[in-house]
Structure 1
Amino acid sequence: MTLKMDLQACLDYYCQLAEKNNTIDPDLYEKYNVKRGLRNKDGTGVLVGLTEIGEVHGYILDEGERTPDHGRLLYRGIDIWDIVRGFQQEGRFGFEEVCYLLLFGELPDKKRLEEFTHLLAEHRSLPDGFVEDMILKAPSNDIMNKLARSVLAAYSYDPNPDDISIRNVLRQCIELIARFPIMVAYGYQAKAHYYENKSLYIHLPKTELSTAENFLYMIRPDNQYTSLEAELLDLALVLHAEHGGGNNSAFTVHVVSSTGTDTYSVIAAATGSLKGPKHGGANIKVMKMIEDIKNNVKDWHDEEELRNYLIKILRKEAFDRSGLIYGIGHAVYTLSDPRAVLLKQKAAELAREKDMEDEFGLYLAIEKMAPELFVAEKKVDKVVAPNVDFYSGFVYKMLNIPIELYTPIFAISRIAGWCAHRIEELVSGGKIFRPAYKNVLGKKSYIPLEQR
């Protein structure tokens, strides 16, 4: 006789069993000096590798004491401020130059930059049949999941997918950097059509447009965008392209690459990491928090009313009861996050163009109040400032970009850093990552089925 079991009916019992038998006494982590989250007691990261790709500086460490400092972000040793100032003063887009710098370790001259930019443009188009078979026939309500699936599907279209020689991996990386915006744009169009009953727009990328311009061109029904919109999106891509080897998705790249697996498996794993709300989805939490504040604070200009509501958020009495003011504070940065400062400056220009200065003023007010309230309510002396997520969501909103594209845009940018870290791991790594876990359960006897 065949038994028919309903999984849903069994899940209550299974859930209780799983939680009971996977709960570890928190005191044991202290007893065995476990670096949970690969973090030291003082919040710094456990040193597990070396890199020459990106550097994040947020404080000065002297004899074990951390002194807050203004944040610095360096790509291949070059300060992000200098990089941004360089291409903006020359009136050009910077993301392609940053991709070259991260991949190859030096700035391109004019000829090499034009060559590389043209190379990306020539490889944007997806393989024959890919759009229909891999995107339109299997749409997803979540674009990050669709992106990860598209990356894995690209393996099947690659004539040499498993070769991990640097030459072949570079070829794969250049193709993926070029195609990520198209995969995201088409994944979004498929979602909008099949899940929201909107018209389906499949715009072919243009070789003469930059990465930022092409993305705006492809996601908008009328293909229209302003120069300032493209400049701001390009800046966002530049600022999100790399953030050191210790962030979760870059570390994922190192861990999975160390096994010797193919490029597509590595980048799909990093995409899954970035999807998490504690990583790439943070700006969405900021946007939801801002909407909650707008709904509950009648007068945004009333500092006392706004202050009182922020206190409620910190006391877990409002918004999602997490006690967090999203977008304020960072694991490394203290006095400032250079990405937030740069994005804020350009966002002010677009706010004027879009007549959204009033809402921009709300962000400025929260930025001013939050650090002081955080210290007062949390009873800690930690110095906090806005991070890049605080302003990036507002920037995308001003660009009329749907909220479900916020994290995928992060991926379009960060693929450059991921590819650089993959190459670095293949060239200089050499050992598979194998950290230790201590079993704290002890031995148990096997009990025959009839005696249980």
Structure 2
Amino acid sequence: MVDDLKKGLEGVLVAESELSSIDGDAGRLIYRGYPIEDLARGATYEEVLYLLWNGHLPHADELEAFTESLTEERTVNDDVLATMERLADADERPMAALRTAVSMFSATEPEGDADPEDLDATARKGRRITAKIPTALAAFERYRLDEEPVDPDPDLGLAANFLYMLTGEQPDDVAAETFDQALILHADHGLNASTFTSMVIGSTMADIYSAVTGGVAALSGPLHGGANQDVMEVLIEIDESNKDPLEWVEEATDEGRRIPGFGHRVYNVKDPRARILQERSKELAENGDDKWYDITTTIENYLSEEKGLVEKGIAPNVDFYSGSVYYQLGIPIDMYTPIFAMSRAGGWIAHVLEYQDDNRLIRPRARYTGPEDETFVSLDER
């Protein structure tokens, strides 16, 4: 009997998880049973991290202790900062710099090489990684601008602190809440490529630093991360063309050009995260420049109504609105995917912890399609 081949593991069940669930037909996403809309509008990123890692939303005292433990781990080693400076000077890509930083974090791990089956130690290491990623990323960007890094502010939450370290100025409430919400929306999303990569590495009982480094590497590929950067580059192109957005998108689609930010391997309707970020984009527009919100909504309405993409199961995904939201927050375009990783690291860690609790080495098979009866010829006779 010939085994069925599932290219890309399409539709293959390889694990069970209590972390997140996606209903692509209904446009529904839940984290441990909670609708993403409720979490995004009512919780903080720290609360969502606690939920993913511990299985329940924290009480006030639990959240205080958890947040304090994260805050205490924000500082990164001087060697990491020096490496970020060298990479910035070398014009390295931000995702590659992040991959290097996460790998370096393990050199100063206070618990050293703990027993890989000690999941409590793994969780503590995961907490350190999550706390340090924003600091390393912000430092890298500051070095690119020939400016000194900004020390973490212990009085700010993870989202607000990142914006502060990035710009040197404390964000206003709208900016801080918007970015915090964006981190929540990207924290987990089922068994995507980077999460699966982290789980495969974790299944070997490699340390969590290796698993998260692998997740960063997988996310750096253009078929997984990076679409929000593509969206923003298109929006800027439209703005600089001095054309009416509707005219531009009509010409682009008539030429067969693909508009990034539409379509998803799981969702057949509008991504629920896109709906939430669209609301935030509108709010930011009301407090500043409304052109990005106007352009995105114009494109969405045209492609959805005139071109009927939604009827074909091709609707806006989270990247379609996250790009312009990040841009309005003053975040450099090539930092969008690293920010994705900064958020998703929490999900990677959660999946590794969950999988290692009942671990089985992930070891799929490939169907051999090469020759069977080759005759070996020694080197001097070839």
TM-score category, normalised to shorter length: over 0.9
Q: SS at the partner of 1:437?
A: coil
In the alignment, is the contact (CA less than 8 A) between 1:293 and 1:309 conserved in 2? no
The amino acid across from 1:436 in the alignment is R
Provide the residue aligned with 2:280 in structure 1.
346
| Superposed displacement of residue 264, structure 1 | 0.8
- Alignment partner of 1:435 is 2:360: no
8 A Cα contact 1:371 1:383, kept in partner: no
Query: Contact between 1:328 and 1:387, CA under 8 Å: does it hold in 2?
Result: yes
Instruction: Indicate the residue corresponding to 1:213 in structure 2.
Output: 160
C-alpha spacing 1:268/1:35, structure 2 compared with 1 (3 Å):
same
Query: Equivalent residue for 1:6?
Result: none
| Counterpart residue identity of residue 204, structure 1 | D
> Which of the residues 347, 355, 359 maps onto 2:292?
359
CA distance in 1, matches of 2:364, 2:194: 17
How far apart are 1:373 and its partner, in Å? Answer: 5.7
Q: 1:206-355 alignment to 2 at 5 Å?
A: 206-220=153-167, 222-244=168-190, 246-296=191-241, 298-300=243-245, 303=246, 305-313=247-255, 315-316=256-257, 324-354=258-288
Alpha-carbon displacement from aligned partner over 1:362-383 (angstroms, at most 9, x marks no partner): 110111122356557xxx9632
Q: 2:169 aligns to what SS in structure 1?
A: coil
Aligned length: 376
Match of 1:135 among 84, 92, 98: 84
Please list the CA deviations of residues 236-260 of structure 1 after superposition, one character each: whole Å capped at 9, or x if unmatched.
111111111x211111111111111
Deviations along 1:354-407, one digit per CA (max 9) or x if unpaired, are 2x213311110111122356557xxx9632211110010101111111112111
Q: 2:72 aligns with which of 114, 122, 142?
A: 122
| In structure 2, distance between residues paired with 1:114 and 1:263 | 25
Give the one of 302, 313, 316 matched to 1:386. 316
Aligned counterparts of 1:374 and 1:157: Cα–Cα separation in 2 = 54
Aligned to 1:161: 113
Separation (CA, whole Å) in 1 of partners of 2:142 and 2:82 = 15
Residue 7 of structure 1 corresponds to none
What is the DSSP-based 3-state SS (H/G/I as helix, E as strand, rest coil) of the residue aligned with 1:266?
A: helix
Cα distance, 1:132 vs structure 2: 4.3
Give the TM-score normalised by structure 2.
0.92
- Equivalent positions of 1:164-183 (< 5 A) are 164=116, 165-183=118-136
State the distance in 2 between where 1:420 and 1:359 align.
Answer: 35
Superposition RMSD on alpha carbons, in Å? 2.0
Unaligned stretches of 5+ residues in structure 1: 1-30, 40-44, 60-68, 88-93, 193-197, 317-323
Choose from 41, 52, 59 the match for 1:102.
52
Cα pair distance change 1:74/1:37, threshold 3 Å? same
Distance (Å, rounded) in 1 between the aligned partners of 2:254 and 2:270:
25
Work out the CA distance in 1 between the residues paired with 2:308 and 2:113: 51
Which whole-Å CA distance do the structure 2 matches of 1:56 and 1:102 have between them? 15
Determine if the alignment matches structure 1 residue 203 to structure 2 residue 135: no
Compared CA separation, residues 148 and 161, structure 1 to 2 (3 A): farther
TM-superposition CA deviations, 1:89-137 (whole Å, max 9, x none): xxxxx1111110111010001111111111111111123x334444334
Alpha-carbon separation, structure 2, partners of 1:237 and 1:123? 19
Cα deviation digits, residues 263-284 of structure 1 (max 9, x gap): 1111100010111111121111
Asked if structure 1 preserves the Cα contact closer than 8 Å seen for 2:81 and 2:139, the reply is: no
The answer on whether the counterparts of 1:329 and 1:386 sit within 8 Å (CA) in structure 2 is yes
How has the CA–CA distance of structure 1 residues 360 and 439 changed in structure 2, closer, same or farther, with 3 Å as cutoff? Answer: same
User: What CA distance in whole angstroms lies between the structure 2 residues aligned with 1:154 and 1:85?
Assistant: 32
CA distance in 2, matches of 1:131, 1:152: 10
1:38 match? 9
1:66 aligns to what? Answer: none
Tell me, yes or no, if the aligned pair for 2:41 and 2:181 is still in contact at 8 Å.
no
- Asked whether the equivalents of residues 162 and 261 of structure 1 are also in contact (C-alpha less than 8 Å), the reply is no
Q: CA separation in 2, counterparts of 1:36 and 1:371? A: 30
Q: Which residue of 2 aligns with 1:9?
A: none
Three-state SS of the structure 2 residue aligned to 1:230 is: helix
CA contact (8 A) 1:310 1:370 kept: no
Aligned partners of 1:151 and 1:268 also within 8 Å: yes
Quick one: structure 1 residues 451 and 297, their matched pair in 2 at CA, closer, same or farther if it must change by over 3 Å? farther
Match of 1:13 in 2: none
How far did 1:261 drift? Answer: 0.8
State the distance in 1 between where 2:308 and 2:282 align: 28
2:103 aligned with 1:152: yes
Which secondary structure does the structure 2 equivalent of 1:186 belong to?
helix
Give the TM-score taking structure 1 as reference length: 0.79
Structure 1 CA distance for aligned equivalents of residues 32 and 265 of structure 2: 21
- Matched residue, 1:73: 29
C-alpha displacement at 1:199, in angstroms?
A: 2.6
- 2:292 touches 2:324 (CA, 8 Å); kept in 1? no
Q: What is the rounded CA distance, in whole Å, between the counterparts of 1:334 and 1:97 in structure 2?
A: 29
> How many Å separate the matches in 1 of 2:81 and 2:276?
39
Among candidates 293, 301, 305, match of residue 368 of structure 1:
301
Q: 1:307 to 1:219 in 2, by over 3 A?
A: closer
- Distance verdict in 2 for CA 1:435–1:121, change over 3 Å: same
Identity over aligned residues, as a percent? 37
